[in-house]
Structure 1
Amino acid sequence: MDPLPNDPAAPASAPPAAPPKAQRPPALWRNRDYRWWLSTDTSTGLGRALHNFAVPLLALYVTGDPAQAGIVAAIGQVGRLVATLPGGVLADRHDRRRLILLGTASGVLVATALAAFQYTGLLGFWLLTALNLLMNVRSGLFDGVPNAALKAVVEPRSLGSAMSANQGRDAVVSLAGGPVGGVLLVIGHAVPFAATALLNVFGLLSVLRVRADLRPRRDAADAAGATGPGGAGKPAGHDGGTSTTRAGYLREAWEGFAWLLHRPELRGVMAISTIVNLGMNAAVTSVVFGLQQRGESPATIGVATACVGVGMLAGAVLAPPLVRRVPTGWLGAVGLAACSGAVAVLPFVHTVPAICVVLGASMFAAPAINASLLGYFTVAVPTHLLGRANSALDLLAMGAVPLAPLVAGFGYAAWGWTGVLALCAGICGIAVVLAFCTRRLLAIPASDRWEDHAAANAREAALRR
């Protein structure tokens, strides 16, 4: 009730009410749904790390030939890429909780089959190739679904923190994957796959505890800000809307590509990601092949690859303040230069301790790069397009990755340690040059201005159409 005019305690005129302060989003670790989401994503990610570590070494044991081992890994990567676009469409059509359940259940089945066939001694080149292909197709279809669901689990203002935390999680997974995989291989060649099956069971149980609605809805912010093909005028239903249901898979998949192609600040990022992922993956795979061929034990190789996780974990500690304070574009470009510089040292080191140090250094900047660029990407993409846009970005960024084991296998056979790693360093160097020459990338600001920058680019994209 307003004070009476003759009330001596009342001021002559009431001052205008102060604008309410914007409420801070709840602390990330107090978000129950985020904790269970992270539990699901971590357990399945660790299972994937164990599988990816064990398969190349098991292929080397089965075939004795780095080139054939590279073929096994490359075929699996091609299968993952082929399945990525349908996976994005599924993530935008259907309940993402059910898709995660289906993905973890199928992971249990394939990993159990790998363990059983290896234990009975029936796992030869062709059977290993087929089962690894199945596991990678499963990854292409379902591994991107948790990322598409993240926006329903945390508030937009928490996405930068969530991405930084995820990078720390990825570092721990990478750190654990090598040593744990090496130890499990020493116990028995079937054991890493049995562990992968158990981890997928845990992921399945964890996602059941998430209370948030993970169905792909289109909210008001998306309706106002979506631009580009497929970005406007589509009502959303619980399974992606009736118009989505009627559209063909190819058309829906193309909407993710078209959205990316109409965003000028992201086009350069796609090309740079493709090149640097090829160089970095080929370098790590070359190190694994080289150490195995000179007779190092699986445990030693596991420790060496774990140093990738050590570098990422150290970098993840610095990622949150860097994402908040440093412009995203410059953070990405300078970080790429640091990663590529470390890879350029690899051809000249040969002892295991030196290799460990350089591998760790090569990944030190990766968490900040990934958290900033992926955080901006997640803010910019409309919720109803997240699955397809993520799958399009994955396909473009990882499109050359199937070449990595081939570069490593055939390159090591032809040029040895120094030659193949020098080639990998040269590939990474091309990405660095492109990053510093891409003005749109360098213009992306720090995280507190992501929404404004994304909105400005959305308006520009709309005017150009």
Structure 2
Amino acid sequence: MTQTAAPVPPDAPAPAPGLLRNRSYLLVMSGLTTEALGAGIAVFAVPLIALSLTGSVWQAGVVTAVGHTGALLATLPAGVIADRVDRRRLIVLTASIAALAWTAAAVAAVTGQLSVWHLGGVLLASSVAGAFVEPAVAGAFRSVVPQEQLATAYAASQGRDAAAGLVAGPVGGVLYGIAHAVPLVAAAVGHLATAVCTWLVREPLNADTAAARAVRPVVALREGLRYVWSVPLFRLCLGLFAVINIAINGMFVAITLDLADGGTSPARIGLLSGVVGASMLIGAVLAPTIVKRVRVGRLTPVALGLVAVAAGVMAVDQSYWGYVVALGAGVLLVPAANAAMAGYSAAITPPRLQGRFSSVMDLCATVAMPLAPLVGSGLLTLIGIGPTLLALSGLLGVTVVAVWCARPLRRIGRPETWADDVVDPGGQAADQPPSEART
């Protein structure tokens, strides 16, 4: 006897189209992919340009750090603005400003007028613009991707960044070898692509902003801060993940500057960056499967532990190929952990708070941007590359223990259970009365 499928209720919602058939998602991703490539080339080239202009590892680190302080100051106001204005126009405007800043730097490099302070100023302007793009994109992303596809979409974002990292290092090394201006042009093109692709998105990237504009900006900022602080997981991330970002980015800065100062060619340094990108690309391909099968609370400390072990191995074997093997293996699970955390956070945060949530949480990465070059170059100058890597490995090891023991993180399961954790602005589960809210 054959069985027939149960009839579908006439009012049942149609299944969401796949991500590859989602025009708005593809446009947003295309722009961000090009921007990630251009930004990766700039991130690779700027320390080398600063080193060539100053002749000092420490000064190159300082210039890079100063350039990122703008994002630190602009991040929280940017989140408030992203929830109050049309996100499409905000992304187009700020990405265009960043493109103009990098274009000005390229022109100065061609004319021989690029100074170290000019370079720092361009980094400053670009970091401020980027601070506005990030929360606007986070809110836009949530607007064009259905909740059940968030884990896959964020895994694809990790793949995007990994692919950009795979290409950016080797390409950045080649472009830097041609002329200092060429990597700066690549950064300008990347930001311009984000502006153009976002402008072509047809659907609204946020809901009606009238209610948000009716609330004073300071009150809106307090609401965003209160929401993040009310969720134990987010409180944990604010402090702990800031330390993790500083340690990991400081490690990469120290390795890059040590290799460059030791005479390693930009092409070989770019190859190292490419290996890291290739490993993360493989990790991003595996991420959807890993996230579906492994609880977030277990995946995160394991991924972080691999990075800590890699830093310890490099502290012992300070050879170029030792760096290649250790870094390639160490970052393999990072995309899956990032995708899981980002997908879970986006899934439980109310849409109207997406911009402010993103900006508050971006402080973890934003604080690292100016501090990581100082930590990496400072430790390298004071104690050398071996002790620097050993110290950062120890710091990462401590954070692994803290993450493993943190109950708010340990309790997070797989994507099918995330909907049960949806949180209202008061920090309570949206479908539970206050007395039953989980922490």
Q: 1:460 to 1:330 in 2, by over 3 A?
A: farther
Deviates more, 1:420-429 or 1:381-390: 420-429
Paired AA for residue 412 in structure 1: L
- Say which of 135, 143, 147 aligns to 1:144: 135
The residue identity in structure 1 corresponding to 2:147 is P
Select the residue among 320, 332, 335 that pairs with 2:288. Answer: 320
Confirm or deny that 1:381 pairs with 2:372.
no
**Structure 1 residue 37 displacement after superposition:** 1.0
Q: Are 1:290 and 1:417, in contact at CA under 8 Å, matched by a contact in 2?
A: yes
| Pair 1:58-2:27 in alignment | no
Which amino acid letter does the alignment assign opposite residue 337 of structure 2?
A: I
Q: Distance in 2 between the 1:256 and 1:462 partners?
A: 20
Corresponding residue for 1:189? 180
Deviations 1:185-217 (A, max 9, x none): 001001011122222222222222212211x32
SS in 2 for 1:364: coil
SS at match of 1:143: helix
- Aligned with 1:71 (options 49, 62, 66): 62
Note if 1:351 corresponds to 2:319. Answer: yes
1:88 matched to 2:68? The reply is no
CA 1:320–1:22: 2 relative to 1, 3 Å: farther
For the residues of structure 2 that align with 1:344 and 1:22, how far apart are their CA atoms?
52
Residue 232 of structure 2 aligns to which amino acid in structure 1? P
Identify which of 339, 359, 380 aligns with 1:391: 359
The aligned amino acid for 1:353 is W
Q: Is 1:445 the equivalent of 2:405?
A: no
- Structure 1 distance, partners of 2:268, 2:357, is 39
Deviation at 1:287, TM superposition (A): 0.6
SS in 2 for 1:402: helix
- How far is the alpha carbon of 1:19 from its aligned partner? 6.1
Conservation of the 8 A alpha-carbon contact between 1:56 and 1:73:
yes
Structure 1 139/462 Cα, relative in aligned 2: closer, same or farther at 3 Å? farther
Match of 1:37 in 2: 28
Indicate if the aligned counterparts of 1:76 and 1:137 stay in contact, CA closer than 8 A. no
Q: Distance in 2 between matches of 1:461 and 1:273?
A: 31
Query: Counterpart of 2:16 in 1: which secondary structure?
Result: coil
- Relative to structure 1, the CA distance from residue 22 to residue 403 in structure 2 (aligned partners, 3 Å threshold; closer, same or farther) is same
**More displaced stretch, 390-399 vs 152-161:** 390-399
Structure 1 residues 65 and 246: alpha-carbon distance in aligned structure 2, compared to 1, 3 A threshold: same
2 CA distance for matches of 1:126 and 1:78? 14
CA contact (8 A) 1:103 1:143 kept: no
Q: Does structure 2 conserve the Cα–Cα contact (< 8 Å) formed by 1:305 and 1:359?
A: no
Task: Calculate the TM-score normalised by the size of structure 1.
Answer: 0.87
Partner Cα distance (1:250, 1:396) in 2: 21
Q: What is the deviation of 1:97?
A: 0.7
CA–CA separation in structure 2 for the residues paired with 1:363 and 1:130:
32
Partner in structure 2 of residue 275 of structure 1: 243
Query: Quick one: structure 1 residues 401 and 207, their matched pair in 2 at CA, closer, same or farther if it must change by over 3 Å?
Result: closer
1:265 match: 233
Query: In 1, Cα distance between the equivalents of 2:404 and 2:39?
Result: 33
| Distance 1:461-1:273 versus aligned 2 partners, 3 A rule | farther
CA shift digits 1:17-68 (9 cap, x unpaired):
7564875432111111111111111112222212222211111000011111
1:461, CA displacement in angstroms?
9.4
- For residue 402 of structure 2, give the secondary structure of its aligned residue in structure 1: helix
Task: Measure the CA separation in 2 of the matches of 1:442 and 1:293.
Answer: 42
- Taking structure 1 as reference, are residues 461 and 275 closer, same or farther at Cα in structure 2, changes over 3 Å only? farther
TM-superposed deviation, 1:354 = 2.0
Give the CA deviation at 1:398. Answer: 3.6
Which blocks of at least 5 consecutive residues in structure 1 are unaligned? Answer: 1-14, 218-237
Number of aligned residues: 428
**CA-based RMSD:** 2.2
Select the structure of larger CA radius of gyration: 1
TM-score by length of 2: 0.92
Is the 1:266–1:441 contact (alpha carbons within 8 Å) kept by the matching residues of 2?
no
Cα distance between partner residues in 2 of 1:365 and 1:309? 12
User: Given that residues 71 and 131 in structure 2 are in contact (C-alpha distance below 8 angstroms), is that contact kept between their aligned partners in structure 1?
Assistant: yes
Within 1, Cα distance between the matches of 2:433 and 2:301? 24
* Amino acid in the other structure paired with 2:133: F
Q: Quote how far apart the aligned CAs of 1:397 are.
A: 4.4
Matched ranges for 1:125-144 at <5 A: 125-144=116-135
Give how far 1:258 is off.
1.2
Q: What is the 5 A alignment of 1:222-301?
A: 238=208, 240-242=209-211, 244-301=212-269
Is the CA contact (8 Å cut-off) linking 1:263 and 1:461 kept in structure 2? no
Q: Residues of 1 paired with 2:404 and 2:81: CA distance?
A: 36
Deviation per CA, 1:192-244, whole angstroms, max 9, x where unpaired?
11122222222222222212211x32xxxxxxxxxxxxxxxxxxxx3x224x3
* Contact 1:323/1:372, CA 8 A, preserved across alignment: yes
Matching residue within 170, 180, 183 for 2:171:
180
**8 Å Cα contact 2:158-2:338 kept in structure 1:** yes
In the TM superposition, residue 134 of structure 1 has moved relative to its aligned partner by 1.2
- SS at the partner of 1:191? helix
2:300 is the alignment partner of 1:332 = yes
1:171 is aligned to 162
Matched AA of 1:162:
A
Work out whether 1:371 is the aligned partner of 2:339. yes
Q: Distance in 1 between matches of 2:294 and 2:392?
A: 28
- Give the structure 1 partner of residue 196 of structure 2: 205
